[in-house]
Structure 1
């Protein structure tokens, strides 16, 4: 019954593409238009205004991928995430290490695995999303510390698997995560989220709706990267990997009075609120309602269904 209610609250959103997208294919065997993902992106003209669909055929693509800000309206799709893998190995500052960096607006990713294989001991971003109106469906985002840099803009993630250990979903974005699986590989008290909201006037935050949380040991739900950090979990299953206190103030007690950390109708051993930190919120239906809709990220204006028809590419190819 809860699942049905959750589904009805979010609703089904379908907005057709205004025109069929231009179709490009990436295939390592040489049977497509390009053998590298980045070559397909580079083929899209600067200041692009046409929808472009890039189909990535199964394979392990060892490359860093960069979608520049002047190439919006790209959709990149794999056959399935298990077989379509973009991977790189790099650690360092968060602005430099992303395996897959999206700066363009109106980007959609479907059925891709994006992983940073560096391991532990440093910042290792797998996916960085720095454009507005970005959506990801059925993707796997894998790393350790700082796996998903959800930096800025309005974003939607549905049916994604996100794995890491420390602050592995972090940034200043205004994002809705629906039916995603968050898996902590922290060895102790790593935080799942580190949302950065710097003032009460900023309309940003992370909402996790009808998600699942698991872990190999224990983890916190989050800690504030900014003093007004805002994170809400609703209708989410939390395994006993979540520590009873739930949240951490990152050593700054002053943030306890300004952060907004809420929970609504969650389930599982890790969802018990009786031992939560006193500054966490157990939301009422009225308090939770604004977060339980795609309107919270203006989704009706930009989230669209997958296209059903395509047109021949006008771009020159290079293999």
Structure 2
């Protein structure tokens, strides 16, 4: 698929890539500057599979050797700067470069595909970020997609903190166990199933982890969707719907108005068994900031001293 993306970039006009049923192994980088691109599976979502096993704990050099073992990224190719930016990181680990498909291009549409980071349960329950899909740009559309991983399955991101990246997700399935839908995009999820699994992490899993800029009023909206957990969580309901991601504040602690303050609304949806009914929101990632909010009439929904995580008009066995 990388060759097709390179060809679409060089064509300089909107393009469509159709992928025949099968399993395709390796990463795909869609660089900024790619004209609006549609990639769809010519079959059911489960019949067209993009897969790779990559762990954020790898060093940048090990990441580069792994993802480019077949030479799919070469100097002069459109995606070469993306590849080099990760390969030459000065950090100890590859971090959020550890993704199967990564797009920096506005106007991307993905449809009828399964994207899986196959690291899955091959590692312990520790911090093993392993993304299936990362999108950084505006006007991203996902439809009839299956995104499967464990920690950090789908990153709906904005690569420029000063601008909003809009993402639409419809009629899809997303699976994981830790912060598996996260990022700072303004994302709307409709008729989508989010499934928390216990095969690697038997307790305390988290579905959403937005890191919305504190100056932006909208982060994630989940509507007319289904949030479920597997039998392990149904037997011991310790799952969390979400938590804020206080990105960048590990040394300073949460700084009101400076640190991201994740925003999320779950409404008109069905929440299944397995989630903590008393405390559905976990302390923030990075800082462990305790969840706190106001329920007073006339409250400021964007108060930077409190959380912006909300539920409205949902159904389910533990919804009150």
Whether TM exceeds 0.5 here: the answer is: yes
SS of match in other structure, 2:179: coil
Give 1:190 deviation, angstroms. Answer: 1.1
Distance in 2 (CA, whole Å) between partners of 1:229 and 1:110 is 27
Other-structure match for 1:299: none
CA positional deviation for 1:46: 4.3
Matched, 1:116 2:117: yes
Describe the SS at the equivalent of 2:97.
Answer: coil
Equivalent residues of 1:228, 1:255 under 8 A apart: no
Structure 1 match to 2:2: 38
Distance (Å, rounded) in 2 between the aligned partners of 1:258 and 1:188: 26
Task: State the alpha-carbon separation in 2 of the partners of residues 192 and 56 from structure 1.
Answer: 30
Whether contact under 8 Å (1:168, 1:193) holds in the other structure is: yes
1:252 corresponding residue in structure 2 = 289
SS of aligned partner of 1:45: helix
- For 2:25 and 2:34, the matched residues in 1 are separated by 22
**How many residues matched?**
234
RMSD over equivalenced CA pairs, Å: 1.6
1:229 is aligned, of 248, 258, 262, to 262
CA gap 1:56/1:254 in 2 versus in 1, 3 angstroms: closer
Distance in 1 of aligned mates of 2:316 and 2:221 = 18
- Greater shift, 50-59 or 250-259, is seen at 250-259
Displacement, 1:262? 1.3
CA distance in 2, matches of 1:47, 1:270: 52
After superposition, the C-alpha distances for 1:152-188 in whole angstroms (9 at most, x for unaligned) are 2100000110000000001101000000000001421
- Residue aligning to 2:273: 240
Select 1:90's aligned residue among 46, 51, 54.
Answer: 54
The residue matched to 2:16 in structure 1 has which SS?
strand
Q: So what's the TM-score if we normalise by structure 2?
A: 0.70
CA shift at 1:252, angstroms?
1.2
Could you tell me which runs of 5 or more consecutive residues in structure 1 were left unpaired when the two chains were aligned: 1-36, 273-319
Q: In structure 1, the residue corresponding to 2:174 is in which secondary structure?
A: strand
